Amino acid sequence: MTDTNGRETFDEQGFAVHRNVIPGALLDALCDVIDQHLSELAAAAMEAGEIDCAHRDLPIEKRLPAVAGARPVSPRAFDKLLFCRQTRDLMCDPSLTALLTDVLGPDITYQGNGHLRAHTPGRLVPVPWHQDAQFYGHGTELMAHRMAQVWIPLVDAGEDRGCLAVVPGSHRWGLLSEAVGEDNVPQSTRDRQLRIYQLGATRARESAVTLLPMARGDVVVFNSLLLHTGTENRSDSVRWSVDLRFEATREFQTLTHAESMGYAAMHRRLMGRGYVPLRVRAADGGAETWATWQERARRMGSVA
Ligand SMILES: O=C(O)CCC(=O)C(=O)O
Protein backbone atom coordinates (compact mmCIF):
# COMPACT_ATOMS: atom_id res chain seq x y z
CA MET A 1 0.00 0.00 0.00
CA THR A 2 1.27 3.46 -0.85
CA ASP A 3 0.29 6.60 1.06
CA THR A 4 -0.97 7.97 -2.25
CA ASN A 5 -0.22 7.16 -5.87
CA GLY A 6 3.49 6.29 -5.77
CA ARG A 7 4.82 7.69 -9.03
CA GLU A 8 2.73 10.85 -8.89
CA THR A 9 3.76 11.55 -5.30
CA PHE A 10 7.40 10.84 -6.14
CA ASP A 11 7.30 13.35 -9.02
CA GLU A 12 5.29 15.98 -7.11
CA GLN A 13 6.69 15.71 -3.61
CA GLY A 14 10.08 14.13 -4.31
CA PHE A 15 9.31 11.03 -2.25
CA ALA A 16 6.77 8.24 -1.86
CA VAL A 17 6.20 6.10 1.23
CA HIS A 18 5.07 2.54 0.57
CA ARG A 19 3.52 0.76 3.55
CA ASN A 20 3.98 -2.88 4.52
CA VAL A 21 5.61 -4.03 1.29
CA ILE A 22 8.88 -5.75 2.24
CA PRO A 23 8.46 -9.38 3.39
CA GLY A 24 9.53 -9.87 7.00
CA ALA A 25 11.76 -12.83 6.07
CA LEU A 26 14.03 -10.57 3.97
CA LEU A 27 14.37 -8.10 6.84
CA ASP A 28 14.94 -10.93 9.35
CA ALA A 29 17.76 -12.29 7.18
CA LEU A 30 19.56 -8.94 7.24
CA CYS A 31 18.91 -8.56 10.98
CA ASP A 32 20.56 -11.98 11.46
CA VAL A 33 23.68 -10.65 9.71
CA ILE A 34 23.71 -7.75 12.16
CA ASP A 35 23.12 -10.07 15.12
CA GLN A 36 26.03 -12.25 14.02
CA HIS A 37 28.25 -9.16 13.89
CA LEU A 38 27.05 -8.11 17.34
CA SER A 39 28.08 -11.55 18.60
CA GLU A 40 31.59 -10.90 17.24
CA LEU A 41 31.66 -7.47 18.94
CA ALA A 42 30.46 -9.05 22.15
CA ALA A 43 33.15 -11.74 21.99
CA ALA A 44 35.85 -9.06 21.56
CA ALA A 45 34.43 -6.97 24.41
CA MET A 46 34.26 -10.02 26.69
CA GLU A 47 37.82 -10.95 25.77
CA ALA A 48 38.88 -7.40 26.71
CA GLY A 49 37.01 -7.71 30.00
CA GLU A 50 34.65 -4.86 29.08
CA ILE A 51 31.46 -6.88 29.45
CA ASP A 52 30.73 -10.16 31.15
CA CYS A 53 27.88 -11.49 29.00
CA ALA A 54 27.16 -11.57 25.23
CA HIS A 55 23.50 -10.54 25.63
CA ARG A 56 22.34 -13.09 23.05
CA ASP A 57 18.77 -12.85 24.32
CA LEU A 58 18.40 -9.17 23.32
CA PRO A 59 16.94 -8.05 19.98
CA ILE A 60 19.36 -6.06 17.79
CA GLU A 61 17.75 -2.75 18.75
CA LYS A 62 18.72 -3.39 22.39
CA ARG A 63 21.83 -5.49 21.93
CA LEU A 64 24.21 -2.94 20.39
CA PRO A 65 24.28 -0.60 23.42
CA ALA A 66 24.65 -3.64 25.69
CA VAL A 67 27.69 -5.02 23.86
CA ALA A 68 29.28 -1.70 22.84
CA GLY A 69 29.26 -0.46 26.42
CA ALA A 70 30.83 2.96 26.62
CA ARG A 71 32.73 2.61 23.33
CA PRO A 72 31.56 5.06 20.65
CA VAL A 73 29.85 3.63 17.56
CA SER A 74 31.21 5.11 14.34
CA PRO A 75 28.47 6.18 11.87
CA ARG A 76 30.10 4.10 9.12
CA ALA A 77 30.98 1.09 11.25
CA PHE A 78 28.34 -1.21 9.82
CA ASP A 79 28.30 -0.32 6.10
CA LYS A 80 30.58 -3.20 5.15
CA LEU A 81 28.01 -5.70 6.44
CA LEU A 82 25.76 -4.71 3.53
CA PHE A 83 27.98 -6.58 1.08
CA CYS A 84 26.23 -9.91 1.57
CA ARG A 85 23.80 -12.30 -0.06
CA GLN A 86 21.00 -11.08 2.21
CA THR A 87 21.27 -7.49 0.92
CA ARG A 88 21.39 -8.81 -2.63
CA ASP A 89 18.21 -10.81 -2.03
CA LEU A 90 16.45 -7.80 -0.49
CA MET A 91 17.44 -5.49 -3.35
CA CYS A 92 16.47 -7.97 -6.07
CA ASP A 93 13.14 -8.89 -4.52
CA PRO A 94 10.09 -7.94 -6.62
CA SER A 95 8.59 -6.19 -3.58
CA LEU A 96 11.30 -3.55 -3.97
CA THR A 97 12.08 -3.69 -7.68
CA ALA A 98 8.39 -3.17 -8.54
CA LEU A 99 8.52 0.19 -6.73
CA LEU A 100 11.75 1.10 -8.49
CA THR A 101 10.48 0.05 -11.92
CA ASP A 102 7.68 2.54 -11.46
CA VAL A 103 10.23 5.34 -11.13
CA LEU A 104 13.25 4.15 -13.14
CA GLY A 105 11.86 1.83 -15.79
CA PRO A 106 12.46 -1.91 -16.14
CA ASP A 107 16.29 -2.07 -15.98
CA ILE A 108 17.73 -1.07 -12.62
CA THR A 109 21.20 -1.05 -11.10
CA TYR A 110 22.19 -0.64 -7.47
CA GLN A 111 25.04 1.84 -7.47
CA GLY A 112 26.94 0.05 -4.73
CA ASN A 113 26.44 3.03 -2.46
CA GLY A 114 24.59 1.99 0.67
CA HIS A 115 24.63 2.53 4.39
CA LEU A 116 23.58 0.37 7.30
CA ARG A 117 22.81 2.78 10.11
CA ALA A 118 22.64 2.16 13.82
CA HIS A 119 21.00 5.36 15.02
CA THR A 120 21.61 4.93 18.73
CA PRO A 121 19.57 6.70 21.38
CA GLY A 122 21.18 9.69 22.97
CA ARG A 123 24.62 9.14 21.52
CA LEU A 124 24.92 9.73 17.79
CA VAL A 125 23.57 13.02 16.53
CA PRO A 126 21.12 12.53 13.69
CA VAL A 127 22.29 12.91 10.10
CA PRO A 128 21.67 16.64 9.48
CA TRP A 129 19.67 18.25 6.66
CA HIS A 130 21.09 17.64 3.19
CA GLN A 131 20.32 16.60 -0.35
CA ASP A 132 22.17 13.38 -1.20
CA ALA A 133 23.15 14.99 -4.52
CA GLN A 134 25.13 17.63 -2.60
CA PHE A 135 27.55 14.84 -1.71
CA TYR A 136 27.72 13.49 -5.25
CA GLY A 137 29.20 16.66 -6.73
CA HIS A 138 28.47 19.07 -9.56
CA GLY A 139 27.07 17.52 -12.72
CA THR A 140 25.47 14.53 -11.02
CA GLU A 141 22.22 16.46 -10.64
CA LEU A 142 21.80 16.12 -14.41
CA MET A 143 20.83 12.48 -13.93
CA ALA A 144 18.89 12.95 -10.67
CA HIS A 145 15.61 11.90 -12.27
CA ARG A 146 17.26 8.62 -13.35
CA MET A 147 18.11 7.82 -9.75
CA ALA A 148 16.14 6.69 -6.71
CA GLN A 149 17.17 6.72 -3.08
CA VAL A 150 15.64 4.00 -0.93
CA TRP A 151 15.38 4.04 2.86
CA ILE A 152 14.20 0.93 4.70
CA PRO A 153 13.79 0.65 8.47
CA LEU A 154 14.81 -2.73 9.91
CA VAL A 155 12.89 -1.92 13.10
CA ASP A 156 9.91 0.38 13.59
CA ALA A 157 11.09 3.97 13.15
CA GLY A 158 8.46 6.20 14.71
CA GLU A 159 8.67 9.88 15.63
CA ASP A 160 10.41 9.09 18.90
CA ARG A 161 12.89 6.70 17.30
CA GLY A 162 14.70 8.89 14.79
CA CYS A 163 12.41 8.68 11.77
CA LEU A 164 13.31 10.63 8.63
CA ALA A 165 12.01 14.16 8.01
CA VAL A 166 11.76 15.72 4.56
CA VAL A 167 10.89 19.02 2.90
CA PRO A 168 8.24 17.99 0.36
CA GLY A 169 8.87 19.47 -3.09
CA SER A 170 12.47 20.51 -2.31
CA HIS A 171 13.74 18.29 -5.15
CA ARG A 172 12.37 20.97 -7.48
CA TRP A 173 14.76 23.56 -6.02
CA GLY A 174 17.58 21.91 -7.97
CA LEU A 175 20.99 21.35 -6.44
CA LEU A 176 21.78 23.56 -3.44
CA SER A 177 25.13 24.00 -5.03
CA GLU A 178 26.88 26.63 -2.91
CA ALA A 179 28.84 24.07 -0.93
CA VAL A 180 29.22 21.41 -3.62
CA GLY A 181 32.63 20.61 -5.10
CA GLU A 182 33.61 19.83 -8.70
CA ASP A 183 35.51 16.63 -8.23
CA ASN A 184 33.87 15.45 -5.15
CA VAL A 185 35.90 12.42 -4.06
CA PRO A 186 39.12 14.28 -3.17
CA GLN A 187 37.17 17.36 -2.11
CA SER A 188 34.86 15.51 0.25
CA THR A 189 36.29 17.09 3.37
CA ARG A 190 34.76 17.51 6.81
CA ASP A 191 34.65 21.27 6.22
CA ARG A 192 32.65 20.88 3.02
CA GLN A 193 30.31 18.45 4.76
CA LEU A 194 29.63 21.02 7.49
CA ARG A 195 28.90 23.73 4.92
CA ILE A 196 26.43 21.40 3.19
CA TYR A 197 24.68 20.73 6.49
CA GLN A 198 24.57 24.44 7.43
CA LEU A 199 23.02 25.32 4.08
CA GLY A 200 20.50 22.49 4.40
CA ALA A 201 19.54 23.56 7.94
CA THR A 202 18.99 27.15 6.83
CA ARG A 203 16.72 26.11 3.97
CA ALA A 204 14.80 23.65 6.18
CA ARG A 205 14.15 26.36 8.80
CA GLU A 206 12.41 28.41 6.10
CA SER A 207 10.30 25.47 4.89
CA ALA A 208 7.41 23.21 5.84
CA VAL A 209 8.82 19.94 7.13
CA THR A 210 7.09 16.54 7.09
CA LEU A 211 8.03 13.75 9.50
CA LEU A 212 8.00 10.23 8.03
CA PRO A 213 7.31 7.75 10.84
CA MET A 214 7.65 4.28 9.36
CA ALA A 215 7.10 0.70 10.47
CA ARG A 216 9.16 -2.38 9.67
CA GLY A 217 8.10 -3.46 6.18
CA ASP A 218 7.67 0.12 4.92
CA VAL A 219 9.93 1.76 2.33
CA VAL A 220 10.42 5.35 1.27
CA VAL A 221 11.73 6.04 -2.22
CA PHE A 222 13.03 9.57 -2.76
CA ASN A 223 14.74 11.86 -5.21
CA SER A 224 18.45 12.55 -4.66
CA LEU A 225 17.62 16.29 -4.62
CA LEU A 226 15.08 15.99 -1.79
CA LEU A 227 16.13 17.85 1.37
CA HIS A 228 15.95 15.37 4.25
CA THR A 229 17.39 14.56 7.64
CA GLY A 230 17.38 11.91 10.34
CA THR A 231 15.65 13.10 13.51
CA GLU A 232 16.65 12.66 17.12
CA ASN A 233 16.26 9.18 18.58
CA ARG A 234 14.54 9.81 21.91
CA SER A 235 13.65 6.16 22.52
CA ASP A 236 15.72 3.64 24.48
CA SER A 237 16.53 1.46 21.47
CA VAL A 238 18.57 1.60 18.29
CA ARG A 239 16.93 2.56 15.02
CA TRP A 240 18.54 0.20 12.51
CA SER A 241 17.96 1.15 8.87
CA VAL A 242 19.47 0.76 5.43
CA ASP A 243 19.66 3.35 2.68
CA LEU A 244 20.50 2.30 -0.86
CA ARG A 245 20.93 4.15 -4.16
CA PHE A 246 19.70 2.93 -7.53
CA GLU A 247 19.82 4.16 -11.11
CA ALA A 248 18.22 3.31 -14.42
CA THR A 249 20.87 1.00 -15.96
CA ARG A 250 22.88 3.31 -18.16
CA GLU A 251 23.46 1.22 -21.26
CA PHE A 252 19.73 0.71 -21.78
CA GLN A 253 18.77 4.39 -21.68
CA THR A 254 18.41 6.84 -24.52
CA LEU A 255 20.10 9.82 -22.98
CA THR A 256 20.33 13.52 -23.77
CA HIS A 257 23.80 15.04 -23.78
CA ALA A 258 23.19 16.55 -20.35
CA GLU A 259 22.04 13.22 -18.92
CA SER A 260 25.13 11.48 -20.33
CA MET A 261 27.27 14.09 -18.60
CA GLY A 262 25.30 13.44 -15.40
CA TYR A 263 25.88 9.69 -15.55
CA ALA A 264 29.57 10.24 -16.34
CA ALA A 265 29.95 12.53 -13.31
CA MET A 266 28.12 10.07 -11.08
CA HIS A 267 30.06 7.06 -12.30
CA ARG A 268 33.38 8.88 -11.80
CA ARG A 269 32.36 9.34 -8.19
CA LEU A 270 31.17 5.77 -7.71
CA MET A 271 34.36 4.36 -9.26
CA GLY A 272 36.47 6.74 -7.18
CA ARG A 273 34.97 5.25 -4.06
CA GLY A 274 35.25 1.64 -5.21
CA TYR A 275 31.49 1.05 -4.95
CA VAL A 276 30.48 -2.27 -6.50
CA PRO A 277 27.30 -2.07 -8.61
CA LEU A 278 24.70 -4.81 -8.98
CA ARG A 279 22.01 -5.09 -11.62
CA VAL A 280 18.98 -5.79 -9.45
CA ARG A 281 16.53 -6.07 -12.29
CA ALA A 282 17.00 -6.59 -16.01
CA ALA A 283 14.24 -5.79 -18.46
CA ASP A 284 13.43 -9.52 -18.72
CA GLY A 285 12.87 -9.65 -14.96
CA GLY A 286 16.18 -11.40 -14.12
CA ALA A 287 18.79 -10.13 -11.67
CA GLU A 288 22.50 -10.61 -11.09
CA THR A 289 23.47 -13.24 -8.56
CA TRP A 290 25.42 -12.97 -5.32
CA ALA A 291 28.28 -14.83 -7.07
CA THR A 292 28.35 -12.21 -9.84
CA TRP A 293 28.41 -9.39 -7.30
CA GLN A 294 31.27 -11.07 -5.41
CA GLU A 295 33.22 -11.66 -8.61
CA ARG A 296 32.81 -8.01 -9.66
CA ALA A 297 33.99 -6.87 -6.23
CA ARG A 298 37.06 -9.09 -6.55
CA ARG A 299 37.86 -7.71 -10.00
CA MET A 300 37.48 -4.16 -8.69
CA GLY A 301 39.62 -4.95 -5.66
CA SER A 302 36.74 -3.80 -3.47
CA VAL A 303 35.96 -6.91 -1.42
CA ALA A 304 35.09 -5.77 2.10
O1 LIG B 1 19.02 7.42 8.29
C2 LIG B 1 19.18 8.60 8.52
O3 LIG B 1 19.03 9.11 9.62
C4 LIG B 1 19.59 9.53 7.40
C5 LIG B 1 19.50 8.84 6.09
C6 LIG B 1 19.97 9.66 4.94
O7 LIG B 1 20.45 10.74 5.06
C8 LIG B 1 19.84 9.07 3.60
O9 LIG B 1 19.24 8.00 3.46
O10 LIG B 1 20.33 9.70 2.65
- For the chain, what are the domain ranges? 6-23+75-297
What average pLDDT does range 275-290 have in this prediction?
Answer: 97
Which residue intervals of 48-125 are DSSP H helices?
A: 60-68, 85-92, 94-104
Q: For 30-39, 129-138, 169-178, 188-197, which range has the lowest pLDDT when averaged over its residues?
A: 188-197
Tell me whether residue 203 is exposed, middle or buried, using C-beta atoms within 10 angstroms of its C-beta: 0 to 12, 13 to 18, 19 or more: middle
Does the C-beta of 230 come closer than 6 Å to ligand 1? yes
- CA 117 – ligand 1 centroid, Å: 8
CA atoms of 11 and 66, how far apart (whole Å) = 42
Q: For 36-40, 124-128, 137-141, 269-273, which range has the lowest pLDDT when averaged over its residues?
A: 124-128
CATH class of 6-23+75-297: mainly beta
% of the chain at pLDDT higher than 70: 93
Sequence-separated (6 or more) residues with CB below 8 Å from residue 258: 142
What average pLDDT does range 181-187 have in this prediction?
Answer: 62
Q: For 120-129, 143-152, 181-190, which range has the lowest pLDDT when averaged over its residues?
A: 181-190
**Each residue's pLDDT tens digit, 203-247:** 999 999 999 999 999 999 999 999 999 999 999 999 999 999 999
Sequence-separated (6 or more) residues with CB below 8 Å from residue 148: 100, 103, 104, 221, 222, 223, 245, 246, 247
Statement: residue 31 has pLDDT above 70: yes
Pick the atom of ligand 1 nearest to 119's CA: 3
**Each residue's pLDDT tens digit, 60-72:** 999 999 998 767 7
What's this model's pTM, rounded to 2 decimal places?
A: 0.95
**Each residue's pLDDT tens digit, 142-156:** 999 999 999 999 999
In a mutational test of the pocket of ligand 1, which residue from 113, 115, 193, 214 has the highest number of ligand atoms less than 8 Å from its CB? 115
Give the pLDDT confidence score for residue 1 in this predicted structure. Answer: 65
Does the C-beta of 126 come closer than 6 Å to ligand 1? yes
